[in-house]
């Protein structure tokens, strides 16, 4: 039987979570690396106060953290400890909001946004490999 895992990194977390939200019966698991819980938060200052207030509602299905609540497939969240683009709090928030019974949060020590994979390659690839083997 074929195993399918969705993986999204950074901005790619938006389509990965969107696909998992709509097609979770067709996948084995979801992997998010350096993802956003609060879609495009860094751009929020450029929109009006009313629009920003609407985005912040806890039930706004636009937000990754709201969609991921409905995803019950095994989920792995990977984030860099010192991510300056999407702070590690975004990874924690995705993990806390995940609807998966089987979920894991991996914070890569000393990693920033663009070096998560290389700061500790052994930990990174071991964790993803174990996740995929476990849920295939």
Q: Sign of the C-alpha dihedral, residues 134, 74, 13, 25?
A: positive
Is the distance from CB of 135 to CB of 101 less than 8 angstroms?
no
Q: Quick count: other Cβ atoms within 10 Å of Cβ 104?
A: 17
Range of the domain at 44: 5-135
pLDDT value of position 5: 98
Phi-psi region of 18 (alpha: psi -120 to 50; beta: other; left: phi over 0): alpha
Strand-pair partners of 75? 30, 103
What are the tens digits of pLDDT across the range 7-25? Answer: 999 999 999 999 999 999 9
Residue 86, both tokens: 């999407």
CATH of the domain at 10: 3.40.50.1820
User: Residues 68-113: pLDDT tens digits?
Assistant: 999 999 999 999 999 999 999 999 999 999 999 999 999 999 999 9
pTM of the model: 0.90
What is the total count of domains within the chain? Answer: 1
């Amino acid at each position: 039987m074929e195993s399918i895992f969705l993986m999204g990194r950074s901005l790619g977390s938006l389509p990965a979570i969107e696909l998992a939200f709509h097609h979770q019966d067709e996948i084995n698991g979801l992997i998010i690396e350096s993802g956003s819980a609060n879609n495009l938060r860094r751009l929020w200052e450029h929109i009006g106060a009313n629009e920003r207030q609407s985005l912040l509602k806890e039930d706004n299905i636009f937000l990754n953290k709201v969609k991921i609540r409905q995803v019950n497939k095994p989920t792995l969240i990977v984030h860099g400890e010192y991510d300056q683009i999407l702070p590690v709090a975004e990874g924690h928030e995705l993990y806390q909001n995940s609807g998966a019974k089987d979920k894991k949060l991996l914070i890569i020590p000393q990693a920033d946004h663009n070096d998560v994979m290389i700061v500790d390659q052994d930990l990174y690839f071991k964790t993803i490999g174990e996740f995929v083997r476990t849920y295939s």
